[in-house]
Structure 1
Amino acid sequence: MKKLTSSNKTVRIFTTLVLLGLIILSSASCNDNSTNSTSDYSPSDDAVPEKNAIQPYSDNPNYWQYKEEPIMLIGGSNNDNLFQWTGDKLTNHLDSLVAAGGNYLRLVMSDDDDHDLGEVYAFGQRSNGKYNLNTWNPEYWNRLINFLDKTSDRDIIVQLTLWDGWDFGGDDGSDWSEHPYNPKNNTNYSTNNTRLPTTWKEPPWREDHPLFLTVPTLNNDIEVLKFQEAFISKLLSIALTYNNVLYNIENEASTPLEWSDYWAEFIHKEANATGKKIYVTSMRDNWDIRHQDHLHVLKNVNLYQFFDASQNTQMPRRHGEGAGHQIAYEHLLDLKTRIQQSGQRPVNIVKTYGAKNSSNGAPSDAGGLQSFWINIFGGVSAVRFHRPKQGLGISEIALKSIKSARMLSDSTDFFSMFPKPSLLGNRSQNEAYALANTGKQYAVYFTEGREITLDISAITADSIEVQWLNILTASWTDTELVFKSENTTGPIRKIADKLQDLLKISTSITLSPPDNGPWIALINPVNKDN
């Protein structure tokens, strides 16, 4: 037997330690799997945004800018795949939104609803009824072009969703039974050379459809994947020619992260090949936006340049109205803190759940309105009412809120304001929410007409102006002057003698809305010289 020398002992001990370290690192990597990117892709530095395209605001990347101006995205619609609509039905819908001050829509590339009312598939169909996935249905793509033309003409920003599991599963299974991707419905593949079934009823949150597992790191179902890639490439050949489009990989994604990462990388590469800079997210399904799936999107800025927090508006469903709204707000603040740590970027909420008898979000119209406004006062960059019956769409009450939100953003230096809950006193749960550019401008949203105090100690001006915005009527009250030392309720019932005011020191004012409905107080300092 060969004698082990001291030198050999040292080498073997060192080698053992190295291997042990690699095992530990590998184990740690597996344990943190949900936040590690499944892609090493990094967008090309050569792809720079066109100056007029939608992009994060240069002075505050928590918001968006479009045509070189900062914008707050505000919207609502009565359906998610409006590109399938034609004629006056579409035009009137868009015009109603714009007339109220709206500029933000959701577009899901869906084809699962209302085929009896004229919705169409993307693929060519043969005389025998089967689809050829190598050919296109021109009507489908012409409708997309028409929709993007009309939204671009109206300066409406479109958040385009590539994939939606609800198009292929759930309900009675008819969506998948009729779809061109189903092996029994096309001439391109069968159950023998793919992993796709001919029947599927499971909803996407319960089980992943094999159509969403085709990528190489999952099922590697190349026969299907090549047609999916061709579809996305065709979609991008149109969408990339417009400057008003943001991209979301999947609706309510519960699929493996590898699926989302694959398509995020795919569309970035396609965009870079044309010299186009795009902004991408993936809306994960978990209602808690602190979940590891959401943190994965948040962490991997190479693939995802903004965050969609729509599922956060489900909190009133889980915890009840009031408590659920408060929790949703606190989760938004936690998200904003994480974003400050990982790199500033916009947070969109393209689906605000909540309406009377809704099975998602708050089950009342008032609760849906509260979710919408809490999103705004939570500092999001984009907010939209979800379609009925899970949201308020562009109902009359929704249009008034859209108009009120635009009136607020137009009346403030909105993009310099941040959520400031610490400025509110005498506040109960879900009673009031504050935005402020401290010392310069304040806005307080009241869910109901109750009394709270607002810390104005940072204001150095002699007096302040208070104006109230009635959310339900989209109208302002007259402006009221309050000397800074006068601690009063609003509307102002008394203007004290200025000489006496000068002898007082006040660090807060008491605000009380004109009635019990939802109101916003706007507070501005007034200097002597004004």
Structure 2
Amino acid sequence: MKTSTLFAFFLLIFLQAYRTFGQVPMERVKAYQENPHYLSWNEKPVFLIGATGYHSWTPISRPGTSEIELQLQRLADLIDKVDSEHVMGFVRWLPYDPMNHLHDGHVEEVLQPWIKLQNGKYDLGRFEPEWEQRLRKLLTQTLNARIIVCLEIWDDWSVTRGPGGAYDPGANYGWNGHPFNPNNNVNYDEKVLPYTTSVCDPPFYNVLPGKEHNDKVFQFQTLYVDHLLRIVKDYPHVMLNINNESRADLAWSRYWAAYVQEKTGGEILVGDMPSTNRKDGGGECDEEFNPMTLSTDGLYGMVDIAQGVSAHEFKTPREQALEGGKRIKSYRDAMDKSGTIKPLLVSKDYTRDENGGDMVIWSRFINGTASSRFHRPSGEHPSSVIDYQHAAMLRLGKFVANVPFWEMSPQKDLIHALPSGTGANALADPTEKVIIQLIDGKIGEEIAINLTGETSWKATWFDPTAEEVVYQNQTSFRHHKNYLEIPVGHEHLIIILER
């Protein structure tokens, strides 16, 4: 081939990629090779942060209702203000509408992936071009804005809520409105799949080979997953969760995780978000289907642990920060032991306003997760909550931007002793830098820390809610320990220790 012809060929490839992404092609988001507890983007370790507008979980199916383009621009502006190659934005979306999502108000028309016929029913064998165009438009916008997207292939809320399920949300909602409900499509009837569901073990999850092998329904499930994978393979910033808040069993999760791995050659990070039993982190319907199991399973490239550490399991912000931190450590310890190290994502936190929001999101970072993100707004004044969330994430993002977190690890055991009633988490490279999250510290009392060498360390006391330094002092060394006197009583402070 002539040189000029080769040049023209590669120029064409470049221009096609540029048109697709609006920029030079990028590597896929993946685990950071040097420390796979974190993610990487273009070979750089990154921490993901996210704030919400309105719920905006199904923006592809609900055009015009949640002003998602403006929400994404606001998150993009936040990331620009952080201005770090180590901090990126984070959103989670369900590509189809679960028909239970009322937080953004009533929607006149829902844009599903499948063609809707004049009789009001869906044809599961044909896909809606407008839906694909909208998905691609939003994926391009997020890529250009340095926002990582986690798409959730299936949604448990729309499968297990309906007649016979956890509760029945009524006509057109939950399983009643799901396109795979036999009453809502032209592809099969109730003889093939019941119109009823159940809290656990619903018929929709039992169509797999090796179970009931309901080939009629299974072929349409596979057709949808293939269609989605064909689209997202063009976007290197996309990860996939098999389900949202899943009450399915481990077999369902592992089947689709293996399928995605096979179809994509392992290029796309795939994980899942089990719904827990609200007691000890076990699966809500299948005890073994929980974040711990997924953490130690080499089939998954990441795990969304949001349901295992959230306010559902630990009620107060303090409990989420401290007890949730212990659970995160248990996942990390198990992965280290089994050799299955992967990023742990928190895609949503339910403590989402100034009443503990900062304490929770900072605890995620300091306890070693790969992301921290608020869930939907709360309260009677959602606009003020949205403002708070963006301001809080900006403060966290600017702090993370100046911390070599990929060289650090959660090391709460460095804290030898705390005053009664005080709690703490720690992220450290104990030879150079230690970051301590101090909760309910009391003025004049002391913290004992196991640091290396008989030396003093500079301590900077930082208020994360005000983004200001409140005090600076040094550790004192005695009894082979470093001691810090707490200078101010405060519900939540960050201590930065530097040699």
Shared fold by TM > 0.5?
yes
SS of residue in 1 equivalent to 2:139 = helix
SS of residue in 2 equivalent to 1:304 = coil
The reply to whether residue 61 of structure 1 matches residue 36 of structure 2 is yes
Deviation at 1:405, TM superposition (A): 1.8
- In structure 1, the partner of 2:386 is 395
- Gapped runs of 5+ residues in structure 1? 1-49, 357-364, 488-503, 526-530
Distance in 2 of aligned mates of 1:220 and 1:316 = 34
Distance in 2 of aligned mates of 1:110 and 1:181 = 12
With over 3 angstroms needed to count, the CA separation of the structure-2 counterparts of 1:472 and 1:457, relative to structure 1, is closer
Aligned counterpart for 1:472 among listed residues 461, 465, 476? 465
Distance in 2 of aligned mates of 1:431 and 1:157 = 32
Deviation at 1:459, TM superposition (A): 5.2
Aligned counterpart for 2:497 among listed residues 523, 527, 530? 523
Aligned counterpart for 2:146 among listed residues 144, 151, 155? 155
- CA RMSD after TM alignment: 2.9
Aligned counterpart for 1:284 among listed residues 236, 251, 274? 274
Distance in 2 of aligned mates of 1:138 and 1:256 = 33
The reply to whether residue 253 of structure 1 matches residue 230 of structure 2 is no
SS of residue in 2 equivalent to 1:432 = strand
When the two structures are aligned, how many residues end up with a matched partner?
A: 437
- In structure 2, the partner of 1:93 is 71
Distance in 2 of aligned mates of 1:182 and 1:314 = 31
Distance in 2 of aligned mates of 1:410 and 1:515 = 27
With over 3 angstroms needed to count, the CA separation of the structure-2 counterparts of 1:516 and 1:430, relative to structure 1, is closer
With over 3 angstroms needed to count, the CA separation of the structure-2 counterparts of 1:407 and 1:226, relative to structure 1, is same
The reply to whether residue 507 of structure 1 matches residue 484 of structure 2 is no
Mapping of residues 95-494 of structure 1, within 5 Å: 95-101=73-79, 103-111=89-97, 112=99, 113=101, 116-170=107-161, 171-173=168-170, 174-175=172-173, 176-192=175-191, 194-197=192-195, 199-200=196-197, 202=198, 206-272=199-265, 277-286=267-276, 287=278, 288-289=280-281, 292-294=288-290, 295-301=292-298, 303-314=299-310, 317=313, 322-323=318-319, 325-343=321-339, 344-355=341-352, 365-389=354-378, 395-424=386-415, 425-428=417-420, 431-450=423-442, 451-455=445-449, 457-458=451-452, 463-473=456-466, 475-477=467-469, 480=472, 482=474, 485=476
With over 3 angstroms needed to count, the CA separation of the structure-2 counterparts of 1:513 and 1:213, relative to structure 1, is farther
| Aligned partner letter, 2:224 | F
Deviations 1:164-205 (A, max 9, x none): 11123424243222332221222111112x1232x45x5xxx
Distance in 2 of aligned mates of 1:336 and 1:370 = 21
Between structure 1 and structure 2, the one with the greater Rg is 1
Q: Percent identity?
A: 24
| Aligned partner letter, 1:180 | P
Deviation at 1:120, TM superposition (A): 1.4
The answer to whether the 8 Å contact 1:466/1:481 transfers is yes
- Structure 2 length-normalised TM: 0.79
- Structure 1 length-normalised TM: 0.75
Deviation at 1:300, TM superposition (A): 2.4
Deviation at 1:422, TM superposition (A): 2.0
The answer to whether the 8 Å contact 1:449/1:513 transfers is no
Following superposition, which runs of at least 4 residues in structure 1 exceed 6 angstroms of deviation? none
Deviations 1:464-515 (A, max 9, x none): 4333332223x23288463x54x7xxxxxxxxxxxxxxxx887313153655
The answer to whether the 8 Å contact 1:349/1:382 transfers is yes
Distance in 2 of aligned mates of 1:449 and 1:133 = 58
The answer to whether the 8 Å contact 2:320/2:360 transfers is no
The answer to whether the 8 Å contact 1:76/1:386 transfers is yes
Distance in 2 of aligned mates of 1:315 and 1:116 = 29
- Gapped runs of 5+ residues in structure 2? 1-24, 80-87, 162-167
Deviation at 1:316, TM superposition (A): 6.4
